[in-house]
Amino acid sequence: MTVYAAALNFRGSLEALGDLNAEPYKGPPKAPVLYIKPPNTLSVSGAPIRVPKGVSKLKMGGTLGWVVGKGWVVANDISIPHSSYFRPAIKERCRDGFLVLSPIFFRGADVDADIRITVNEKTTVASTRDLIRPVTKLIEEISEFLTLGLGDILLSGEPPNAPLAGVGDRVWVQIDDVAIENVLEPE
């Protein structure tokens, strides 16, 4: 099972990078910008999210994931905030436990989803209607060069307003009536 994720896939994400025609990007992306969350990142609701030493805040990348041939998952795709998308963000995205996944649930592929990300009392809401490439479009473009196998997961992208959280904070990500909940603890 491999987890693939789309970056910069929400309206507003690219604008936040600044002038895309300048160095280092030299133009807006043509194909979906993708990354892999390796097996060590997999975690579940209830497990602590470990904040690395020397890092004050982590980004809570709530997102909707598609499990090939099976259904959908709520995901918290955690990362150390980084402003450059030039090099793969392995150190920022691939830490142990940096991908919390819900159990698989069912929903219509064409139904927009509200993604509710709550840190303590404060809730941020994003909608999959603001995805630049909806999941079906991502599948079409990715599967042109990469076979998504049964059980592989495709994360549709974190919203640009994904909130930050630090040690002691409690975070929920909810889509439909499915939620994951984790507390941030020091490494």
Partner 1 sequence: MKRARVMVDAVVHDAREQDGRVLLDDGRLFAEEEVDWLPPVEAPGAIFALGLNYAAHAKELAFKAPAEPLVFLKGPASLIAHREHTVRPHGVQFMHYECELAVVIGKEARRVRREDAMEYIAGYTVANDYAVRDYLENYYRPNLRAKSRDAATPLGPWFVDRDDVPDPLNLALRTTVNGKVTQEGWTRDMIFSPAVLIEYLSGFMTLSPGDLILTGTPEGLADCRAGDVVVTEVEGIGRLQNTIMEFAPPHH
Q: Which residues of the shown chain bind partner 1 in the complex (CB under 8 A)? A: 2, 4, 7-8, 24-27, 29-31, 33-36, 38-41, 52, 85-91, 94-96, 145-147, 149
Q: Report the nearest approach of partner 1 to the CB of residue 14 (Å).
A: 10
- Other CB atoms within 10 Å distance of the CB of residue 180: 23
Beta strands in the chain (DSSP E): 3-7, 33-37, 42-44, 49-51, 58-67, 71-79, 99-101, 114-119, 122-127, 153-155, 164-165, 170-175, 178-186
Q: Report the nearest approach of partner 1 to the CB of residue 156 (Å).
A: 16
Nearest CA-CA partner of 130 in 84, 162, 102: 162
**Nearer CB in complex with partner 1: 35/172:** 35
**Nearer CB in complex with partner 1: 92/118:** 92
Q: Report the nearest approach of partner 1 to the CB of residue 19 (Å).
A: 13
Q: What is the distance between the alpha carbons of residues 21 and 24, in angstroms, rounded to a whole number?
A: 8
Q: Report the half-sphere exposure of 23 (CA within 13 A, side-chain side).
A: 0
Q: Report the nearest approach of partner 1 to the CB of residue 7 (Å).
A: 7
**Nearer CB in complex with partner 1: 126/142:** 142
**Nearer CB in complex with partner 1: 58/175:** 58
Q: Report the nearest approach of partner 1 to the CB of residue 84 (Å).
A: 10
CA 82, chain centre distance (Å): 14
**Nearer CB in complex with partner 1: 20/119:** 20
Retrieve residue 123's tokens.
Answer: 């809730």
Residue with tokens 């992208």: 157
Q: What is the distance between the alpha carbons of residues 73 and 93, in angstroms, rounded to a whole number?
A: 19
